């Protein structure tokens, strides 16, 4: 028998990847989502659960490890991406981390998320950090390109070193109820991803109803999605707690039926530490704390990190912090 | 490992305490000892009892146990204030109510914290539910005060209202009582529950600060005896009570014959129905709001889960999984779902009930986890393996205990749901609007929540069917219970009918009787069970006919027939209208014969009375499809539709005078609204109504809708009033008879209306209006959220 100091090691959780399943249209038709009730649950989670003091600080540190630090702007340049990657390597000021007694822990974002053009740059900039690069793909943000083009885009990103591919679905397929087409396309994307993990962006703000969102979530999971993700950040309505509840309840149902745990990524508009804590509480309540790990949960965000840093500093000093004093993302 | 690293790995919630400092400072500022608030002043504390914090057992303050003299002083103050308060314009009263609403909002956190400490309920609930609803109630009623003259023309307040409230929503129940009473122009004497007086006392301070005229609101603290002193006080005009059915019945009996207005909001065992096409996860979450809100100490708690067999296993598994996530503990912790029950005695009572249920075969599931070592805590519980015969299914537990049963068909769901003496609320979950709106009217309850639960709003009436009480709180219906028609006070005592001496002593020693008048039960002419007939005498004592001498069994048969005909209530209103018109037509066709019969019995020319009766049938035919409900807009994205429903089976005892109109004027509104009736016609002159059944027979009135039992009014009234299958009772007769009827009604708390020996001139056109319609109906509010 040997004693081992476990404090400093991170054990990779055993995670079984979604193998994909046949499209089960009966299951899709059994989906029922009541918007008002979902809104009530989502609307009260922030009042039912709150974390204070050390708990809040620890939760916020955890939140950092689940951020996909993202830049998805038409005017992105290599320089901008490199700066983002540099921030990813040091997401919080060293002094803050030390004072929190967490200097020996790996507090790094879940991934850096960029357009295909910058995958190469990001991979290089993150070399040795262990931070994966995620590429948005398949004619992001609209998804309306020939399927061959989209598959080629995935393959190109994987070739450039992307470990995660955030694909977009064609919203029209959902609105038409063409589940077979959606299933076939996501399955083809999954195949093109190979070892890279696939996140399926639903574009929830354009799917009209919670029922559509739930059904699209299920079809993507059946087709082999590793993650389901709300939004591109370009729709008029991005991630919110109601949509999140719809999607994570589908994740729960999928896990009950298949034993496979699918990740969830809300994206767009999550800018404050307070928002992040609500999402985390919702995940913990509906899926369990176990789901709050980088391989099962991500925030698609960029400014969120700065706000978390400010809150951590405030927690330590008791002074409110200013964003310009945190190294910018 | 340091603490942050530990939490980082475990993601525990940790404590999130709400500071009690300000509430404690307020208690300290009062020396932690309170008198009553009477006539705008604080009395010196008398004999006191202790208000405890049930979460810790710590004493919070000493509360004065009100005496009969205290109550009397409060009533005198309220009486003195009534004249001035009721004379204020609605606008002036509204401004006071508005000021109260503002003050409650301004001091909302103080109220919320104090309520949580006094009652044990989580701060999240007092902060997010109780107190905001209190403010909303005063705002809403500020509006009613302003518009009262327009909306309730020719109505006046009762006067002094005695109000007794429970401990489960202390300040909210105070608001539900005081806001409408004051808006209507009443003054009040309110007794908070002995476990939870503190927010009522803080409220009294608010009344002081807004300058409410002294004596308008009087708060007398105390226990059951204090409540009894209010109920029995001769100078109180109306009693409003929220609490247990047991005490409600005592109050009903105590006020019988007193002429006091009465509204009761009592217990419940509300069904929570989940159909297979529901959003199951949302339905599970709804249960948290239904039965684990306020530790289940909610009169309308969805405590009886009825789940469709096809989804039973899956649903129960989901419920259990959800229960694991419930956090029980310090009510002042913001992340706590279930706080402390109000007092040790409640914890004991629930434990005893559970033991009994388990002994009867119930299986109890409770999630793992530790309860706090001290304080009045119980784990949430799910009870399975039970049927309606189990104590836990039939009794109101008033705790965090859910009982679950399954059903196969919608019809069976309705049958199980209605298989209770209570009828406060019901919840149903289905994504099929056809199913939901089919079921909602079939549930015998005052509030129906579709795809949601425990929604409350000041604009939407709340209150029960059956033994859950009568009267509504909130909305127009709620205002109505604090107002009465101005003309009522002008009524005079009914003259005692002059005795008529029979011309012959021997029943067989009579003249020619050309007709056998029978009873009319279930659409058939029935001979009296007794085998006896009674003579009907003319004005000079001459025999003009004979009618059956009805007894208990005739009433029993008539009630059974009436219950079998209850589908009359869901017959299209247009159809009911047509039948009433047809009745009018057929009666008019035989007007000479009916007039002659009236003359034979009373000696008076009956043609006017017949014409009035025809007109009255015509009037209520017109009402049948017009006296209907409103659609409310509560602040959430939903509509609440107020369905006006019949009471069910109505027992009607007609006045001695006016043999035809006396019955028709009551019968017409009752059946127009869909009630089925058991009518006891004028004891002295019943022949007009035994003639009338021939009119019923020719007018397509379905069998059992109108049943006629002749005989001695008082004894038949008693049997009717005591009958648990009779849902409402109208009695026109002596004051003693009225008191008897009201007292006898406690068995199933049927709604009663009695003339109390006062003369109601039924020929007056005012009785062709909505006076009796309101008494023939009850309002059911159906909450329908929407959104794709």
* β-sheet bridge partners, residue B17: B333
The shortest C-alpha distance from B760 to chain A (Å) reads 50
> Within 10 Å of residue B147's Cβ, how many Cβ atoms?
14
Cβ-proximal residues to B387 (8 Å cutoff; 6+ apart), any chain? B393, B405
Residue by residue, DSSP assigns A245-306 as HHHHHHHHHHHHHH-PPPEEE-BSS--SHHHHHHHHHHHHHHT-GGG-STTTB-EEESHHHH
Question: Which residues of A have a catalytic role annotated?
Answer: 166, 229, 265
Q: Is B653 strand, coil or helix?
A: strand
Give CA separation, A6 vs A104, A105, A290, B622, in Å: 12, 11, 19, 84
Touching check for B325 and chain A: CB below 8 Å? yes
Instruction: Residue B371: name the closest of B312, B421, B424, B329 by CA.
Output: B329
Non-local CB neighbours of B205 within 8 Å, separated by 6+ positions: none
Q: Mark yes or no for CB contact B7/A48 under 8 Å.
A: no
User: B449: nearest CA in chain A?
Assistant: A37
* Distance separating alpha carbons of residues B788 and A177, to the nearest angstrom: 16
Q: Give the residue from B226, B167, B215 showing the smallest Cα distance to B188.
A: B215
B4, B285, B636 member nearest A41 (Cβ): B285
Work out the average pLDDT over A157-164: 98
Which residue, B659, B623, B627, B661, is CA-closest to B643? Answer: B627
**pLDDT tier, A8 (very low <50, low <70, confident <90, very high otherwise):** very low
Residue B411 annotated to the active site: no
Query: Is A98 in a helix, a strand, or coil?
Result: helix
In chain B, which residues have their Cβ closer than 8 Å to the Cβ of A282?
A: none
Helix (H) / strand (E) element for B51: namely strand B48-52
Residues near B773 by Cβ (< 8 Å), separated by ≥ 6? Answer: B623, B627, B669, B672, B673
Which tokens hold the place of A203?
């574009």
What average pLDDT does range B768-773 have in this prediction? 96
CA distance B339 to A150: 55
Task: Give the orientation angle of helix A35-48 with respect to helix B280-291, to 10 degrees.
Answer: 50
- Average pLDDT of the segment spanning A253-280: 97
> Looking at B296-355, which runs of residues are DSSP E strands?
302-308
Residue B220 in tokens: 């007398």
Q: Do A55 and B788 touch (CB under 8 A)?
A: no
CB distance B605 to B595 below 8 Å: yes
- Please determine, for residue B726, whether its predicted confidence score (pLDDT) is greater than 90: yes
Q: Which two tokens stand for residue A46?
A: 């922030």
Residue B215 has pLDDT above 80, yes or no: yes
Report d(CA A229, CA B52) in Å as an integer: 50
pLDDT single digits (tens) B668-692: 999 999 999 999 999 999 999 999 9
What pLDDT does residue B497 have? 79
Give the DSSP letter string of B356-410: HHHHTT-EEE--SSPPPSSSS----EEEES--TTSHHHHS---SSEEEEEEESSH
Closest by Cα among B416, B422, B398, B417 to B266:
B422
With a cut of 70, say whether residue A209 has pLDDT above it. Answer: yes
Q: How far apart are CA B72 and CA B84, in angstroms?
A: 20
Task: State yes or no: pLDDT of B202 exceeds 70.
Answer: yes
B3/A54 Cβ within 8 A: yes
Helix axes A303-317, A273-286, angle to 10 degrees: 100
pLDDT at B737 over 60: yes
CATH architecture of B520-779: 3-Layer(aba) Sandwich (3.40)
- Listed by start position, the domains of chain B span 33-266+478-485, 270-463, 520-779
Mean pLDDT of chain B: 96
Q: Which residues in B lie closer than 8 A to residue A52 (C-beta atoms)?
A: 14-16
Residue B627 has pLDDT above 70, yes or no: yes
> Nearest CB to A36: which of B1, B10, B452?
B452
Confidence (pLDDT) at B513: 60
Tell me the pLDDT band of A5, cut-offs 50, 70 and 90: very low
CATH number for the domain running over B270-463: 3.40.309.10
CB B7 within 8 A of CB B14: yes
Q: Do A36 and B637 touch (CB under 8 A)?
A: yes
What is the pLDDT at residue B502? Answer: 80
Alpha-carbon gap, residue B721 to B644, rounded angstroms: 23
Contacts of A174 (CB under 8 A, 6+ apart): A182, A202, A207, A212, A215, A216
Mean pLDDT of B366-379: 95
Q: Decide if A9 touches B, using CB distance below 8 A.
A: no
Can you give the pLDDT at residue B446?
Answer: 98
Distance CA B419, CA A32 (A): 29
Q: Which of B281, B323, B333, B338 to mutate to test the interface with A (most CBs of A within 10 A)?
A: B281
pLDDT of A163 over the 90 cut: yes
**What is residue B63's three-state secondary structure?**
strand
Residue A224 confidence (pLDDT) above 60: yes
Question: Tell me, what's the pLDDT at A326?
Answer: 83
Q: Please provide residue A165's backbone torsions phi and psi, each rounded to the nearest 5 degrees.
A: -120, 120
Rg for chain A (alpha carbons), in Å? 19
- Tokens representing residue A307 in the block: 């706000």
CB-CB neighbors (< 8 A) of A53 in chain B: 14
What is the C-alpha separation between B562 and B703, in angstroms, rounded? 8
pLDDT at A9: 45
**Structure confidence at residue A325 as a pLDDT band (50, 70, 90):** confident
Sign of the C-alpha dihedral computed for residues B355, B359, B362 and B364 taken in this order: positive
Residue B501: pLDDT band with limits 50, 70, 90: confident
Q: Count CB atoms within 10 A of the CB of residue B611.
A: 16
Q: What are phi and psi of B649, to 5 degrees?
A: -95, 125
User: pLDDT tens, A289-324?
Assistant: 999 999 999 999 989 999 999 999 999 999 998 888
Average of pLDDT values for B207-236? 98
> What is the pLDDT, as a whole number, of residue A6?
41
If you average pLDDT over every residue of chain A, what do you get?
95
Instruction: Give B564→chain A minimum CA distance, Å.
Output: 38
Q: Which CATH architecture has domain B33-266+478-485?
A: 3-Layer(aba) Sandwich (3.40)
Q: Where does the pLDDT of residue B511 fall: very low under 50, low under 70, confident under 90, or very high at 90 and above?
A: low
Tell me the DSSP string of B592-609. Answer: HHHHHHHHHHHSS--HHH
CA-to-CA dists, residue B439 to B280, B408, B410, B413, angstroms: 18, 14, 8, 9
pLDDT per position as a tens digit, B424-458: 999 999 999 999 999 999 999 999 999 999 999 99
Tell me what percent of chain A is helix, strand and coil, each rounded to the nearest 5.
50, 10, 40
The fraction of chain B above a pLDDT of 70, given in percent, is 99
Query: Is pLDDT above 80 for B507?
Result: no
Q: Which of A291-305, B212-226, B476-490, B504-518 has the lowest mean pLDDT?
A: B504-518
Percent of chain B past pLDDT 90, that is, above it, reads: 96
pLDDT at A128 over 90: yes
Q: Are B328 and B380 in contact (CB under 8 A)?
A: yes
Cβ neighbours around A8 below 10 Å, total: 9
- Chain A nearest-CA distance from B14, in A, is 6
b vs e for B327-357, b when ≥16 Cβ sit within 10 Å of the residue's Cβ?
Answer: bbbbbbbbbbbbbbbbbeebbeebeebbeeb
Q: What per-residue confidence (pLDDT) applies to A327? A: 83
What digits encode the pLDDT tens for the residues B132-149? 999 999 999 999 999 999
**Across chain A, where does the E strand assignment appear?**
67-70, 111-115, 133-136, 164-168, 197-201, 227-229, 263-265, 299-301
| pLDDT band with cut points at 50, 70 and 90 for residue A1 | very low
Has residue B765 got a pLDDT over 90?
yes
Pick from B305, B409, B310: nearest CA to B365: B305
Query: For B275-320, where are the E strands, in sequence order?
Result: 302-308
Token digits of residue B705: 């809708």
Token output for A112: 């850096």
Which residues are registered as beta bridge partners of B751?
B728
Region B221-250: mean pLDDT is 98
User: What is the model's pLDDT at position B277?
Assistant: 97
| Integer CA distances (angstroms), B307 to A115, B411, B424, B452, in order | 50, 13, 19, 15
Angstroms from B463 CA to nearest CA on chain A: 24
Residue A292 contacts B where some CB pair is shorter than 8 Å: yes
Residue pair B526/B561 in contact (Cβ under 8 Å)? The answer is: no
| Cα A265 from Cα B257, distance rounded (Å) | 68
Helix (H, G, I), strand (E, B) or coil at B10: helix
CATH architecture for residues A25-325: Alpha-Beta Barrel (3.20)
Q: Same CATH fold, B520-779 and B270-463?
A: no
Alpha-carbon dihedral sign for residues A75, A79, A82, A84: negative
């Amino acid at each position: 028998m040997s004693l081992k100091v476990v404090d400093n090691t991170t054990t990779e959780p055993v995670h079984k990847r979604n193998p994909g399943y046949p499209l089960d249209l009966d299951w899709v038709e059994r989906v029922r989502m009541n918007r008002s009730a979902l809104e009530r649950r989502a609307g009260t989670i922030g009042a039912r659960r709150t974390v204070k003091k050390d708990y809040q600080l620890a939760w916020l540190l955890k939140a950092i490890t689940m951020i996909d630090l993202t830049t998805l702007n038409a005017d992105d340049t290599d320089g901008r991406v490199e700066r983002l990657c540099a921030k990813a390597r040091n997401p919080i000021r060293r002094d803050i981390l030390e004072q929190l007694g967490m200097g020996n822990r790996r507090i790094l974002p879940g991934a850096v998320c960029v357009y295909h053009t910058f995958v190469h740059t990001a991979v290089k900039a993150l070399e040795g950090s262990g931070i994966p690069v995620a590429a948005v793909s398949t004619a992001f943000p609209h998804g309306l390109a020939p399927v061959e083009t989209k598959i080629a885009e995935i393959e190109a990103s994987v070739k450039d070193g992307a470990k995660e591919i955030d694909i977009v679905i064609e919203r029209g397929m959902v609105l038409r109820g063409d589940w077979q087409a959606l299933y076939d396309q996501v399955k083809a994307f999954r195949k093109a991803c190979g070892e890279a993990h696939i996140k399926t962006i639903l574009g929830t703000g354009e799917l009209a109803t919670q029922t559509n969102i739930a059904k699209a979530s299920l079809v993507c999971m059946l087709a082999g999605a590793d993650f389901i993700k709300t939004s591109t950040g370009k729709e008029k309505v991005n991630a919110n707690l109601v949509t999140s509840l719809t999607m994570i309840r589908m994740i729960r149902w999928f896990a009950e039926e298949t034993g496979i745990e699918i990740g969830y990524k809300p994206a767009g508009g999550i800018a404050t530490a307070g928002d992040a804590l609500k999402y985390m509480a919702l995940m913990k309540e509906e899926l369990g704390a176990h789901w709050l790990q980088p391989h099962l949960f991500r925030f698609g965000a960029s400014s969120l990190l700065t706000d978390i840093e400010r809150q951590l500093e405030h927690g330590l000093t008791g002074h409110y912090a200013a964003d310009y004093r945190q190294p910018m993302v | 490992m340091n603490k942050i690293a530990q939490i980082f790995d475990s993601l525990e919630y940790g404590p999130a305490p709400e500071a009690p400092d300000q509430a404690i400072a307020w208690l300290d500022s009062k020396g932690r000892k309170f008198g009553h608030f009477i006539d705008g002043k604080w009395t010196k504390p008398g004999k006191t009892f202790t208000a405890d914090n049930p979460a810790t057992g710590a004493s919070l303050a000493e509360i004065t146990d009100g005496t009969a003299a205290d109550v009397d002083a409060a009533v005198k103050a309220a009486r003195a204030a009534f004249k001035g308060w009721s004379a204020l314009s609605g606008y002036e009263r509204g401004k006071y109510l508005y000021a109260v609403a503002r003050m409650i909002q301004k001091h909302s956190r103080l109220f919320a914290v104090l309520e949580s400490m006094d009652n044990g309920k989580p701060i999240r609930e007092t902060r997010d539910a109780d107190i905001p609803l209190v403010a909303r109630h005063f705002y809403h009623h500020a509006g009613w005060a302003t518009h009262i003259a327009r909306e309730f023309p020719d109505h006046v307040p009762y006067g002094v209202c005695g109000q007794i409230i429970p401990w489960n929503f202390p300040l909210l129940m105070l608001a539900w009582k005081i806001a409408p009473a004051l808006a209507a122009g009443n003054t009040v004497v309110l007794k908070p529950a002995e476990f939870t007086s503190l927010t009522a006392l803080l409220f009294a301070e608010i009344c002081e600060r807004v300058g409410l005229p002294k004596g308008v609101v009087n708060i007398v603290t105390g226990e059951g005896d204090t409540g009894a002193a209010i109920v029995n006080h001769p100078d109180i005009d109306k009693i409003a009570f929220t609490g247990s059915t047991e005490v409600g019945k005592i109050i009903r009996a105590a006020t019988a014959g007193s002429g006091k207005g009465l509204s009761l909001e009592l217990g419940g065992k509300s069904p929570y129905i989940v159909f297979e096409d529901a959003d199951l996860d949302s339905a599970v979450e709804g249960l948290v709001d239904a039965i684990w809100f306020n530790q289940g100490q909610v009169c309308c708690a969805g405590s009886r889960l009825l789940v469709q067999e096809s989804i039973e296993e899956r649903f129960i598994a989901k419920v259990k999984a959800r229960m694991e996530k419930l956090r029980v503990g310090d009510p002042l912790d913001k992340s706590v779902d279930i706080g402390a029950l109000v007092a040790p005695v409640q914890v004991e009572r629930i434990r005893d009930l559970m033991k009994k249920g388990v002994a009867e075969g119930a299986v109890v599931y409770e999630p793992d986890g530790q309860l706090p070592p001290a304080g009045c805590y119980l784990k949430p519980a799910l009870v399975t393996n039970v049927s309606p015969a189990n104590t836990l299914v039939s009794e109101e537990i008033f705790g965090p205990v859910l009982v679950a049963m399954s059903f196969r068909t919608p019809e069976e769901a309705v049958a199980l749901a209605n298989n209770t003496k209570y009828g406060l609320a019901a919840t149903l979950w289905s994504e099929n609007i056809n199913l939901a709106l089919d079921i909602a009217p079939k549930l015998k309850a005052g509030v129906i929540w579709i795809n949601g639960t425990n929604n409350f709003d000041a604009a939407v009436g709340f209150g029960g069917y059956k033994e859950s009480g009568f009267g509504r709180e909130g909305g127009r219906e709620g205002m109505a219970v604090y107002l009465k028609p101005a003309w009522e006070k002008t009524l005079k005592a009914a003259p005692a009918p002059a005795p008529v001496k029979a011309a012959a002593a021997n029943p067989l020693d009579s003249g020619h009787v050309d007709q056998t008048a029978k009873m009319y039960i279930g659409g058939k002419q029935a001979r009296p069970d007794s085998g006896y007939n009674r003579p009907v005498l003319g004005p000079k004592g001459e025999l003009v006919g004979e009618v059956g001498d009805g007894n208990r069994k005739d009433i029993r048969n008539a009630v059974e027939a009436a219950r079998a005909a209850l589908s009359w209530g869901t017959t299209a209103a247009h159809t009911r209208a047509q039948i009433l018109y047809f009745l009018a037509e057929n009666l008019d066709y035989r007007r000479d014969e009916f007039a002659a019969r009236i003359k034979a019995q009373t000696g008076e020319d009956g043609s006017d009375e017949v014409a009035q009766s025809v007109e009255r049938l015509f009037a209520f035919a017109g009402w049948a499809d017009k006296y209907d409900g409103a659609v409310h807009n509560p602040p959430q994205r939903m509509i609440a539709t107020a369905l006006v429903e019949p009471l069910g089976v109505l027992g009607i005892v007609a006045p001695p005078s006016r043999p035809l109109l006396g019955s028709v004027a009551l019968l017409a509104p009752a059946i127009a609204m869909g009630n089925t009736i058991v009518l006891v016609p004028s004891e002295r002159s019943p022949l007009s109504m035994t003639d009338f059944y021939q009119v019923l027979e020719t007018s397509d009135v379905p069998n059992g809708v109108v049943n006629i039992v002749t005989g001695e009014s008082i004894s038949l009234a008693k049997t009717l009033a005591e009958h648990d299958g009779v849902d409402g009772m109208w009695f026109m007769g002596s004051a003693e008879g009225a008191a008897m009827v009201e007292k006898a009604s406690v068995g199933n708390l049927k709604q009663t209306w009695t003339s109390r020996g006062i003369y109601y001139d039924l020929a007056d056109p005012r009785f062709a209006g909505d006076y009796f319609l309101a008494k023939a109906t009850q309002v059911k509010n159906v909450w329908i959220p929407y959104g794709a």
